[in-house]
Amino acid sequence: MALSDDVESHVSDKDLIARRRRQIVNAAVKLFSKQGYAGTTVQQISKQAGVSTGLVYQYFGDKDDILFLALKQVLDTYEHDIPPQYADLDHPLERLFAALRAYCTVVHTLRDATVLAYRATKSLPLNRRIYIENAEIRTNRIFRDLLDECVAQGLMKAPDLELLTYQFVLFSHAWALKQWAFSGKYDLDSYVEAGGKLLIEPFLTGNGRAYWNTL
């Protein structure tokens, strides 16, 4: 992380800094998600976090900083919460499907924050936007690597792995972005099942299909 991406603080105790920032960012994510970035005031954030307005400015340089760390935290959650959910599994196809389920589940948990990421990233200054975009690319990498693994083992075959990866990502994000369209028609489980049928099944090889049917 480049220096320019650092968020400055006027406080020295490292632990305190971490704790306070978490406290404030959590409050911010909640409010940004509901009301948007511009629609949320620093006063509201401090109140929600249970601290004074002035304190916020001892841990963040300005309001943009809060947004940046809020988005970063969302992306970090993706990156940290998904891998453990397929790490124990052995078979690549199982791992891929588990990852899809895990991604959708995290998106479900962070529904509002996911929408926030779509809405607000553009509000960041360029260098920070790039940082966030790179974090997303790292998350995408998860699917890409699992797909590569499946292809390498002759289980899948796809014309364009790069784009297929994005379809996995978009499919997961859509669960949050298009809540209004999906709620009532699908629950999370059936949505993930359908995802498997659209994004994995069609690209299975004979071997792949053989294993897939045993799941």
Site string for a copy of itself, 154-173 (x = CB under 8 A): ----xxx-xxx-xx--xx--
Could you tell me the two tokens for 117?
Answer: 């990421």
- Which of residues 21, 30, 63, 101 is near DNA by CB under 7 A? 63
Q: Which is nearer to DNA, 61 or 196 (CB)?
A: 61
Among 26, 36, 57, 129, binds DNA (CB under 7 A): 57
Interface pick for DNA out of 13, 133, 162, 187 (rule CB under 7 A)? 13
For residue 42, the partner it binds in a copy of itself, DNA, none, with Cβ less than 5 to 8 A by kind, is DNA
Report DSSP letters for the chain, one per residue.
--GGG----S---HHHHHHHHHHHHHHHHHHHHHH-STT--HHHHHHHHTS-HHHHHHH-SSHHHHHHHHHHHHHHHHHHHSTHHHHT--SHHHHHHHHHHHHHHHHHHTHHHHHHHHHHGGGS-HHHHHHHHHHHHHHHHHHHHHHHHHHHTTSB--S-HHHHHHHHHHHHHHHHHTHHHHBTTB-HHHHHHHHHHHHTGGGB-HHHHHHHTT-
Could you say which residues in the range 16-55 bind DNA, by CB under 7 A?
Answer: 16, 20, 39-43, 51-55
Shortest CB 97 distance to a copy of itself, Å: 15
- Among residues 41, 55, 49, 61, the alpha carbon closest in space to that of 22 is found at 49
Size of the site for DNA (CB under 7 A): 22
Task: Choose from a copy of itself, DNA, none: what does 188 bind? Cβ within 5-8 Å by kind.
Answer: none
Question: What is the contact surface with DNA in residues (CB under 7 A)?
Answer: 10-13, 16, 20, 39-43, 51-58, 62-64
Question: What is the contact surface with a copy of itself in residues (CB under 8 A)?
Answer: 36-39, 115, 118-120, 122-123, 133, 137, 158-160, 162-164, 166-167, 170-171, 174, 177-178, 180-181, 185, 191, 194-195, 197-198, 201-203
